[in-house]
Amino acid sequence: MRKSLFNILGVSCGYAAAVIGAGFASGQEIVSFFVKYGKCSIIGICIACVIFSLFSCAVLCTCVDKKIYNYSDFLDSIFKGGHTRRIMEVMTLVFAAASLCVMTACAGEMGKVLLGVPRIAGALAFTAACGAIFFMGSKKLMEINSVLGAVIVFGIILSCLYILRFREHQAFANEASMAVSGVVYAGYNLLTAGAILSGMSRCLKSRGEAVLSSAVSGFVLFVMITLIWGVLGIYYGKINLGEIPMLTMSLRQNNILGIFYGIMLLFAVLTTGVSNGFGVIDIAVKKISRTKAVVILLITAFCMSGAGFANLINTAYRICGYVGMVIVFAVIYKFLKNMKKVVKRRK
């Protein structure tokens, strides 16, 4: 029983780590997709978290039932046709590359905020670090996602509670527009999450554990998004939140909290950037050499980072979100359709 609970929590934290990138941990995604729509955007947060749980349930249950442990086999089991399968692979490649560009831009912004160095220097240092890892072919950094995920989850929650406890303002921004971007937000975040979920499914023994893990991860993500939304909603429109809103708020409290949050954000940037980078390379090596794939990817990420962290999230992520939304709903639909067939056979 204890081992099963540990496995469920491990999968939940690993999934949360896959969703928590620099955009999430920095607060920029939350501002772009929720906070700017006002109080009603809590509806969008609820919708996004339900989709996170449903998608996780669809992937984990399918993988546990069919003893599948990699994303390629999962896609083959869900989409029999070749065209849909190829579209999924291409979109995964595009989003993973876009995500690395965003992480590079975030690293540049962090260098400016925390160290006072030019953005280009921070982006260049991050590109060099990723390049070293890619060329070594070491994926050990990806193996500690669950541990880092747990650290980031609790770190974000504690930081948000601290800021809320000592807040300077009492009310949210006055906008009251309905947030409809919750679905788009979930759409782009889940484009590459399936690969991580399918790999972690080996830790689960039954469909029940898969369902429980999906519910726990959805709840954890809801708590974190809502806390960040609460913190940034209070200050949105009252102060300049900058390119990295949560780091701005942490430094506003005190330097210790700022450094603590900066370290967590660095973990999120590095694990997300490297994970997505390996995803791009694994797909690209089918067509070109590994060296060419790494060089092209790093040059693209470094050049695109010049567009700015917030701009990339508002454009690249939003575009990927619309396409990802269709793919995610297709996966959930296929899962529910298969479940209906199973129920009929049992009757």
Mean pLDDT to the nearest integer, 322-340: 77
Which long-range CB contacts under 8 A does 332-335 form with residues at least 24 apart? 332/51, 332/54, 332/55, 332/58, 334/58, 334/78, 334/79, 335/57, 335/58, 335/61, 335/62, 335/78
In angstroms, the CA 346 to CA 136 distance is 50
Per-residue pLDDT tens digits for 74-116: 777 777 656 767 777 777 788 888 888 888 998 898 888 888 8
Q: Mean pLDDT over all residues of the chain?
A: 79
- Sorting pLDDT into bands at 50, 70 and 90, what band is 299? very high
Q: Which of 98, 138, 129 is nearest to 300 (CA)?
A: 98
| pLDDT for res 302 | 92
In angstroms, the CA 124 to CA 104 distance is 8
Answer yes or no: pTM beyond 0.85.
no
Higher pLDDT, 126 or 342: 126
The topology under which CATH files domain 2-346 is Amino acid/polyamine transporter I (1.20.1740)
Higher pLDDT, 83 or 131: 131
Torsion sign over Cα 34, 273, 99, 217: negative
| H helix count then E strand count, the chain | 17, 0
Domain residue ranges of the chain, discontinuous segments joined by +: 2-346
| pLDDT for res 125 | 92
DSSP 179: P
Mean pLDDT to the nearest integer, 226-249: 85
**Phi, psi dihedrals of residue 301, rounded to the nearest 5°:** -60, -45
**Strands in the chain per DSSP E:** none
